[in-house]
A and B are shown apart, each in its own frame.
Chain A
């Protein structure tokens, strides 16, 4: 599959959240998005997820214009928002069953998959607890579970590792890596090591523009193989990329 972003711009008042941004993402391999807070990562992901419309520019999924046919994306999408929203009075099973029902996943199929996903994300012990009492990391995993319902071919995850403990983060990387073999997996993060270990391609965003697109290892070359340093230099304009 191929996701193509063509000169997309988005403004909020006087802020250019996205400034004529173009990008191509293919399935096979995780695509990582990094950049300082306010760079526009979430805005880009929300536009790709068809939650928001770009002011100008186009997004294509396998050649289909998503501005005109957002459902083409939604049929194959698993989206993890930056701020996980759940109903506090429901248990994870109830919440996931609700979302699955709105998606139109049959009862039996949903039940089986939900119990599998909760196992996968190590939430089985908490399956009967109300979401209102969940810790940040647990909520995050419920959000991930929600994004994985059905059979998403495009996974867009906005800061998926926030709130997770180190072991969980490492496991999540593996999960995404295995999923990315046949799917598009796009994730944003503040954690450079996440990019280093999972992403085969990355984009560095700053003020609504891309200042680098390519392999993380190549970006690292600008600072003698140290990706973190290279990132800092790139963001502060010390390195010419």
Chain B
């Protein structure tokens, strides 16, 4: 057990030091702030009848903000075995007395630490916000109990993520697929009332919704129609009537659900260790080992320099970036991407407008290396020693990413243009510019891919669930041209800021300011 804890603690410390951990804590606090009652952007609203809705206006509502945690923590805890493989720590673990099960258990515990610490940040943040925003109200400590159902749910999620990772070959495909399953399970169990699905809910949403329903019915006598967390709705809240949530109460059904989730987590951790063993055995390096050279070593040959004019060549650079982005993408991935393009070209426009953001998110792996790749692999010095290399490489990457994004949505774009749907076409093009720009920006500033991936998945989820946001909104009546221009300027600015950071303007400015 001490060994297991050793693995867990080392892993947790390693991750806590990484910048992205701080980013996630910041994101947690942001999600708390966004669910702030009365906040226009992320308002929490409850529709009791289609036109009658309530917006939170007291501190008890804030305690619901933990609901957002699972959606981004999934991606954050993904990747810790991969990290060990890259750093060869996995090899050290393999040749030590540590069993695969202990290793997996250690990783699981570390995953749990990480998600729970994010949860804690959210809870602390909501208390802080409650104090600031509702200074007169007492802090609703008892409503904090609503976070209890998240604990087994997050435990289960941590186990699922671990399992995804231990199947080495399927790792990349798994993660996105399982995420979508996770979200769908949560949503369908709530929306369609498929209550048996709640046993598999990794987000805690089913218990939360059950609680909200019960509270609503008890306090207003009206059944809940729907519950909105993010996104600006077209309906204006009347919100004068206040509801104060009460404590969450545990019952036998809850206990059973929790028990099932915890048991499933245990089983999954065990299965993970089996999967790890099998997949590591099966996952041989694809290329046969080279035999040691037989013939006598005659020394290195002579060096032939190649004359060239040391000047940037954009065409060359962009095509090199394109090749780099597509390298290592397997046939399955390409087939789905092409199927998406075909669907975009021929599906009815309403369907196509939902496929466009999905096609972009399918290409997430092409974009996610932008800005971060050089930091992750340490190749930044290879470009730093080329005249204007850092700037140039970032520009090439940005251009290549934009070409890919535009290419990915091009069938829809052409169709919108052909039908004179200029506003929607503009929205589509700006969306396509936004993705590589934000990728470059987040990649360069956070030096990881994860933050961008989280943002993309959350955005996509919002779009396909018909939340009206600026990004990739193709329904003309919902598009605001001015908001699109803001997004356009923001995208350009994001790209420019990324390049500026890479080129070291920040450091130069700092040095200048320090000089004063």
Residues of A within 8 A of B (CB): 49-51, 71, 74-75, 77, 79, 81, 83, 85-90, 94, 97-99, 101-107, 109-110, 112-113, 116-117, 119-122, 125-126, 129-130, 133, 146, 148-152, 167-168, 170-172, 174-175, 178-179
Which A residues lie within 8 Å of B311 (CB)?
A: 104
Which B residues lie within 8 Å of A113 (CB)?
A: 304-306
How far, in whole Å, are A81 and B393 apart by their CA atoms in the complex?
Answer: 19
Which residue of chain B has its CB nearest to the CB of A170?
B299
- Which applies to chain A's interface (DSSP): helix, strand, loop or mixed? helix
Q: Does A104 contact B290, Cβ atoms closer than 8 Å?
A: no
How far, in whole Å, are A50 and B308 apart by their CA atoms in the complex?
Answer: 21
B: number of interface residues (CB 8 Å): 46
Q: Does A98 contact B324, Cβ atoms closer than 8 Å?
A: yes
**Contact status of A86 and B377, CB under 8 A, knowing A102-B320, A112-B306, A151-B306:** yes
Which residue of chain A has its CB nearest to the CB of B385?
A79
Which A residues lie within 8 Å of B373 (CB)?
A: 87
| Chain A to chain B contacts (Cβ below 8 Å), 17 pairs | A50-B385, A51-B381, A71-B387, A74-B386, A85-B377, A98-B320, A102-B317, A103-B389, A104-B317, A113-B304, A117-B303, A119-B301, A125-B290, A133-B287, A150-B305, A151-B307, A174-B299
Q: Does A99 contact B382, Cβ atoms closer than 8 Å?
A: yes
Contact with A along B415-435 (1 / 0, CB 8 A): 000000000000000000000
Q: Does B290 contact A129, Cβ atoms closer than 8 Å?
A: yes
Which residue of chain B has its CB nearest to the CB of A81?
B381
Which A residues lie within 8 Å of B385 (CB)?
A: 49-51, 74, 77, 79
How far, in whole Å, are A103 and B309 apart by their CA atoms in the complex?
Answer: 9
Within 8 A of A (CB), among B361-411: 373, 377-389, 392-393, 396
Q: Does A178 contact B383, Cβ atoms closer than 8 Å?
A: no
Which B residues lie within 8 Å of A146 (CB)?
A: 382
Interface presence of B285 (CB below 8 A): yes
Which A residues lie within 8 Å of B320 (CB)?
A: 97-98, 101-102
Q: Does B310 contact A103, Cβ atoms closer than 8 Å?
A: yes
Which A residues lie within 8 Å of B327 (CB)?
A: 87, 89-90, 94
17 extra interface residue pairs, beta carbon distance < 8 Å, beyond A85-B380, A104-B309: A51-B385, A79-B381, A85-B382, A101-B317, A102-B386, A102-B393, A102-B396, A104-B313, A109-B308, A120-B303, A121-B300, A122-B297, A151-B305, A151-B306, A167-B299, A175-B303, A178-B303
Which residue of chain B has its CB nearest to the CB of A151?
B305
Interface presence of B348 (CB below 8 A): no
Give the 7 A-B CB pairs with smallest separation, nearest first: A101-B320, A85-B378, A89-B328, A151-B305, A113-B306, A120-B301, A171-B300
Task: Report the minimal beta-carbon distance from B371 to chain A, rounded to whole angstroms.
Answer: 15
Interface presence of B302 (CB below 8 A): yes
- Which applies to chain B's interface (DSSP): helix, strand, loop or mixed? loop
Q: Does B290 contact A75, Cβ atoms closer than 8 Å?
A: no
Which B residues lie within 8 Å of A71 (CB)?
A: 387-388
Which A residues lie within 8 Å of B305 (CB)?
A: 113, 150-152
Which A residues lie within 8 Å of B319 (CB)?
A: 101
Which residue of chain A has its CB nearest to the CB of B382?
A99
Interface presence of B132 (CB below 8 A): no
Q: Does B306 contact A105, Cβ atoms closer than 8 Å?
A: yes
Among B285, B311, B386, B388, find the residue whose CB has the most chain A CB atoms closer than 10 A: B386
Interface presence of B312 (CB below 8 A): yes
How far, in whole Å, are A107 and B290 apart by their CA atoms in the complex?
Answer: 28
Which B residues lie within 8 Å of A49 (CB)?
A: 381, 384-385
Q: Does B299 contact A171, Cβ atoms closer than 8 Å?
A: yes
Q: Which of A120, A121, A126, A149 contacts B306 (CB 8 A)?
A: A149
Interface presence of B17 (CB below 8 A): no
Task: Report the minimal beta-carbon distance from B493 to chain A, rounded to whole angstroms.
Answer: 25
Task: Report the minimal beta-carbon distance from B266 to chain A, rounded to whole angstroms.
Answer: 34
**Contact status of A120 and B312, CB under 8 A, knowing A49-B385, A71-B388, A94-B327:** no
How far, in whole Å, are A91 and B138 apart by their CA atoms in the complex?
Answer: 63
Q: Does A106 contact B323, Cβ atoms closer than 8 Å?
A: no
How far, in whole Å, are A172 and B300 apart by their CA atoms in the complex?
Answer: 7
How far, in whole Å, are A175 and B299 apart by their CA atoms in the complex?
Answer: 9
Which A residues lie within 8 Å of B97 (CB)?
A: none
Q: Which of A85, A126, A129 contacts B381 (CB 8 A)?
A: A85
**Contact status of A106 and B316, CB under 8 A, knowing A71-B388, A129-B290, A130-B286:** yes
Which B residues lie within 8 Å of A148 (CB)?
A: 303
